[in-house]
Amino acid sequence: MRVIDLSTPIDASKWEPEAVVHEITTPAEGARHMSAEMLEHFGVHFDPAVLPDQELLSIDTLTLTSHTGTHVDAPSHYGSRASYGEPRHIDQMPLEWFQRPGVVLDISGFGVGAVRAEQLAKELDRIGYRPQPLDIVILRTGADRLAGTPEYFTSFTGLDASAVHYLLDLGIRVIGTDAFSLDAPFGHMIKRFQESGDASVLWPAHFAGREREYCQIERLANLDALPVPFGFTVSCFPVRIAGAGAGWARAVALLDA
Ligand SMILES: [Zn+2]
């Protein structure tokens, strides 16, 4: 079996709209910390010098949103109410959704904005594949090459409502993208709204999830490493964060050869 990593790292050294804080307690600091805690809480004297290299264990403490790096959005992210019932949190979603046959659609030629249903249908015709219910459809926009820069948040292609409903009509429940969002960039949507006064141009892909239950994988990467547009399995189990609207995922493609 071959495994292709489709994930963007969580990396505090890279630019993010909400800065990631990553504090590292080194193994030596861990030894001193443990010694101090033992004395304070249990009155026990422990000399860290007895440990090999005077080191105990490291600890990473992170402050970040659940939408940092590759992650899966749950229905509760899209709004507090949905027409189909109570929107579920990420820890409530069925695991069966997250390891499924994958198909990658190339929408890298569309520029900043949102593609429509007929454009996805055309790409499916081009590659000669008919998605089956619960397949994981992933969109290659090419935006992951901008990851870690401010342009990553302003320059990419999303889906409009027709494109999302088209995929949901095929029985798809997990839609992935290598861009920051499944919707067009924030600035692009606001500009279109101000020009038209039409509120339906605002977050149509996310808000489609208030009508029909589905998950998104955002901030995938490396989709051009996939040697075929289908015939592989996507695995993207989200971290089980109780009551959260999203969970980080190590998304990978599994290939037989
Ligand atoms: Zn998200």
Distance 8 CA to ligand 1 centre (A): 13
Active site residue 41: no
pLDDT number for residue 123: 97
Pick the catalytic residue from 22, 45, 67, 77: 77
CA atoms within 13 A on the CB side of 46: 20
Distance 71 CA to ligand 1 centre (A): 6
pLDDT number for residue 148: 87
d(CA 208, CA 136): 17
Between helix 117-127 and helix 161-169 the angle, nearest 10°, is: 50
Distance 218 CA to ligand 1 centre (A): 6
Kindly report whether the global pTM for this prediction surpasses the value 0.85. Answer: yes
Distance 17 CA to ligand 1 centre (A): 13
> Taking the domains of the chain in order of start, what are their residue ranges?
2-11+66-255, 21-63
The answer to whether the beta carbons of residues 178 and 152 sit under 8 Å apart is no
pLDDT number for residue 17: 87
| Per-residue pLDDT in tens (0 to 9) along the chain, 257 residues | 999 999 999 999 998 888 999 999 999 999 999 999 999 999 999 999 999 999 999 999 999 999 999 999 999 999 999 999 999 999 999 999 999 999 999 999 999 999 999 999 999 999 999 999 999 999 999 999 999 899 999 999 999 999 999 999 999 999 999 999 999 999 999 999 999 999 999 999 999 999 999 999 999 999 999 999 999 999 999 999 999 999 999 999 999 97
d(CA 135, CA 230): 10
Topology of the domain covering 2-11+66-255: Glucose Oxidase; domain 1 (3.50.30)
Distance 200 CA to ligand 1 centre (A): 20
Query: Which residues, by Cβ under 5 Å, contact ligand 1, an ion?
Result: 67, 73, 218, 246
